[in-house]
């Protein structure tokens, strides 16, 4: 998506360790009007698909997922990274390794919000190694629900996650696919 690629070039910052910071418009400070345009693109890409829930993982995917859910007219469910006292013990859990936080989380979704009859679209801001996406897929499968696909804002196509998830038979639609990030220069895959 050219609009997103242009914004990444203009406002994204490449940091040491293959870190792309888009926190000025995607996942810390959110440019809502811009994200609404991305949400419309996800709606176009998944037009004709029956979707009953949007699933994401806390925290940076929630804002995007909410705007996408508005487009589809369905609720958002987000996997939590910590168990709280107001979540019953009847949950689906999966392990996720965070690239940016350098730790492993148990992600949790209440069985009240993910049912076998659900048709789920996963939405997330980044796809790199695929751990978060794999964990979300596991939650959907544990619930007996249907995975419609995954909508990713930015995929680091030079890392293995996207291919691993596609090899699992899951449809992945990424709005921007980065082929490489060298010395602050970003090259996109088309």
pLDDT digits (tens, 9 = 90+) for 20-74: 889 889 888 899 999 999 999 999 999 999 999 999 998 888 999 999 999 999 9
Task: Express as a percent the part of the chain with pLDDT over 90.
Answer: 73
pLDDT band at 100 (very low <50, low <70, confident <90, very high): low
Whole-angstrom Cα distance, residue 111 to residue 11? 39
- What does the CA dihedral 146, 148, 153, 158 come to, rounded to 10 degrees? 90
**Where do the DSSP E strands lie in the chain?**
13-15, 19-21, 53-57, 76-79, 91-98, 103-110, 119-127, 146-156, 172-182, 185-188
Quick check: pTM over 0.75?
A: yes
pLDDT at 71: 97
**2-11, long-range: CB within 8 Å, 24+ apart, which pairs?**
3/37, 4/38, 4/153, 4/154, 4/175, 4/176, 5/176, 5/188, 7/34, 8/154, 8/176, 8/178, 8/186, 9/186
Place of tokens 């048709």: 119
**113-152 pLDDT, tens digit each:** 999 999 999 999 999 999 999 999 999 999 999 999 999 9
**For range 171-178, the mean pLDDT:** 98
C-alpha triplet 57, 119, 53: angle, nearest 5°:
45
What's the rounded Cα separation, in Å, for the pair 125 and 132? 11
- Class in CATH terms, 2-188: alpha beta
**Number of residues that this document lists for the chain:** 190
Phi and psi, residue 161, nearest 5°: -60, -50
Query: How large a percentage of the chain has pLDDT more than 70?
Result: 95
Question: Which pLDDT band holds residue 156 (cuts at 50, 70, 90)?
Answer: very high
Residue 15's pLDDT is 85
More confident residue, 17 or 15: 15
Output the pLDDT for position 127.
94
pLDDT at position 27 is: 84
């Amino acid at each position: 998506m050219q609009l997103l690629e242009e914004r990444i070039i203009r406002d994204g910052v490449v940091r040491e360790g293959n870190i792309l910071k888009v926190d000025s418009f995607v996942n810390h400070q959110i440019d809502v009007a811009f994200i609404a345009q991305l949400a419309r693109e996800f709606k176009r890409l998944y037009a004709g698909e029956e979707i009953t829930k949007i699933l994401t993982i806390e925290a940076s995917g929630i804002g995007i997922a909410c705007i996408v859910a508005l487009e589809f007219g369905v609720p958002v469910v987000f996997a939590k990274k910590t168990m709280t006292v107001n979540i019953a013990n009847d949950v689906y859990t999966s392990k996720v390794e965070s690239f940016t936080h350098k730790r492993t989380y148990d992600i949790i979704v209440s069985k009240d919000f993910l049912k076998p009859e659900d048709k789920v679209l996963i939405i997330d801001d980044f796809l790199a190694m695929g751990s978060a996406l794999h964990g979300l897929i596991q939650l959907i499968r544990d619930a007996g629900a249907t995975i419609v696909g995954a909508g990713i804002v930015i995929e680091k196509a030079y890392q293995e996650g996207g291919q691993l998830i596609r090899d699992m038979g899951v449809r992945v639609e990424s709005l921007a696919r980065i082929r490489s990030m060298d010395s602050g220069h970003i090259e996109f895959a088309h």
